[in-house]
Structure 1
Amino acid sequence: MEPEIINNPAAHKFETTVEGKTAFIQFKLRGDVMTVLHTIVPEELEGRGLAAAMSTHVLKYLEAEKMQLVPLCPYMLAFLKKHPAYQHLVKNKLV
């Protein structure tokens, strides 16, 4: 079952809650550019694919909104290397 991932713009996070624990991707926005800062998954939830599911959700969101990405988060950088189909979203092709 796919986790429900919500965009919480007031907190600058995409987040999902599983078993009372919240995993999230923290970002900042500047115009049509989203800078992804951190991907955080509580230790109890590791190994369930939550970081990958959230990353995919964020990238699809950026694509739909015609936005660009600056991936400062090490997890997002690694994810993009494994999923080159999303490279077109990266501003200045830093990856």
Structure 2
Amino acid sequence: MTDPEIRDNPDRHQYELPVDGDLAVVTYNLSPPNLMITETLVPQRLEGRGIASRLARHVVDDARARDLLILPVCPFFSAWFQKHPDQADVVHPTYRGILGL
């Protein structure tokens, strides 16, 4: 289930999560059926609260619902998928091989 507080802002090519007056984002490039995740940015004062993982779960759920394949160029997403190989069905096959999923 997707997180209702996270919104996709297609004009800015990012998923956004407002937290305590700051904005955590996941930037992407969309070229269906591929969703390239390029960067995850969480303001320093919000680090350690699971916000990046919350964003990752939302993006994965959204990609799955939209039949998109994720290309995890972002180092955080690459590491996240390695910790959660059960979610690898949404990762592009080439990246599954690169990440050993």
TM-score range, shorter chain: over 0.9
Show structure 2 runs of 5+ residues with no match.
none
Q: State the partner residue of 2:57.
A: 56
Output the TM-score relative to the length of structure 1. 0.93
One-letter amino acid of the counterpart of residue 89, structure 2: H
Contact 1:23 1:41 in 2 (8 A): yes
Please report the TM-score for the alignment, with normalisation by the length of structure 2. Answer: 0.88
Structure 1 segments, 4+ long, off by >6 Å, are none
Q: Alpha-carbon deviation of 1:3?
A: 7.5
1:9 is matched with 10
Encode CA deviations 1:40-63: one digit per residue, 9 max, x unaligned. 000011111100000000000011
Kindly, what percent of the aligned residue pairs are identical? 33
Contact 1:3 1:16 in 2 (8 A): no
Q: How does 1:1-95 map to 2 (within 5 A)?
A: 4-91=5-92, 92=94, 93=96, 94-95=98-99
